[in-house]
Structure 1
């Protein structure tokens, strides 16, 4: 299919069975596909994702203003956040890293391999050793279930399914800090962990130790102007990628020129549109350590670290009421507070 669409775009004189409207749509898509394939070896994965989202107006397509639509778009932004965190990988390496394709169906039962399963898929199965990860409020139970008794009970049943998959040993883990949709914040252990009798567990930090750690992570002194929150020096990553120019559009002969597309013209083909929120990568950051900024949701905070990641700027900010958060400057829309 990919080859056929590209053939329609690169060879406008080619004979085809499509009516005018269908051909116009295929020609427009072939034009975008040709541009994506041209830059894939020179652009970062994040840049390629941004270009696809912009060309296809994908946000308008999936975010219809409903809670479900907002969640769908949030999932896309989470995927983009993964691409930002995996800066430096090629497109092939990135896809291999995030691929959910499993080969476990072809593995022997005694093979030396880990099987990845959801709670639903694990029903009826048992393993000698089981690892449950991400046991945090907001993940399990899910944030949408916290205020609904029935939903919370269903989440607890799923948790029970998970822990009873282990024949001999069960490992449960939760993250101290987790990055979700581009925001990094201190997380809380799942309330379901309190349902497990203490005499059946080993290890794990005490509540006092965790509260002390959370307190340290949520407080930051602006006097530490030359170091990041983690103590490492702030640094900028510059790009040495080759410059690329969009390929010249093939000119069809007048007799076979495709009909004008009725679809909205992609932004990258429009000369009058400049609504890209991403800052240009000039080798320097827009925000500096110790600077006061304001976020529309989290309020005022202090910049701990800012660095260039791909074609975006990653800003780590300490918010007094929200803790430490790592934000993508192109989407966070941070306002610099003048002192």
Structure 2
């Protein structure tokens, strides 16, 4: 049977059988069950996860059949790891920016504050309209700290098997200088730390390097993206935000002082 026919049959059955039975039928009729017949140890570990899910689903078998599936899906959508956090315990909590809304911690570290991560590369190159949503998400992360906030970025990062220079996030440029100071470190640091008490906001960063100012129409070269043409230039104080159309990588939005573009 086609996938469409299988799904149609399952939708009809959802009103007539217990949710755990519907789950079993879905495993069988979709062919998903055959994935675990090889006996491969890794696949058997995943089968344990399937069984754990089924155990959770069994708790909804007592509901009327037509209500069980909608109720299960609604409750699953509302549950996240953040709901199980124990606020009184002294331990490190690892959590994503998407999951921290409504939570607060005495000290917060946000790592990977780099172009391509915060904001995400898709927001920079594929969907510029979502850049402001990324900025709001970053702000949510900043405001989770009750006492101190540390922002970090690396000099070089390995992604997809390739080591490349990391560019500090353009969002860092929006942090007011009035709340910035130096952290005592043994060597020049790219790390950032914020005190949300209002007394200080410490960030230790290297001074912006000098760069050649760009104009629309300039031909440039980037060590990662190759040859490109400057399509747009927006002055950002002493810096420039440039949109470059690269021949092989499409449009990228970069800070001129950090991008190390060669003109010509």
TM-score category (smaller protein): 0.3 to 0.5
Calculate the TM-score normalised by the size of structure 1: 0.33
Name the one with the larger strand percent: 2
Calculate the TM-score normalised by the size of structure 2: 0.41
Which protein has greater RCO, CA pairs closer than 8 Å, 6+ apart?
Answer: 1
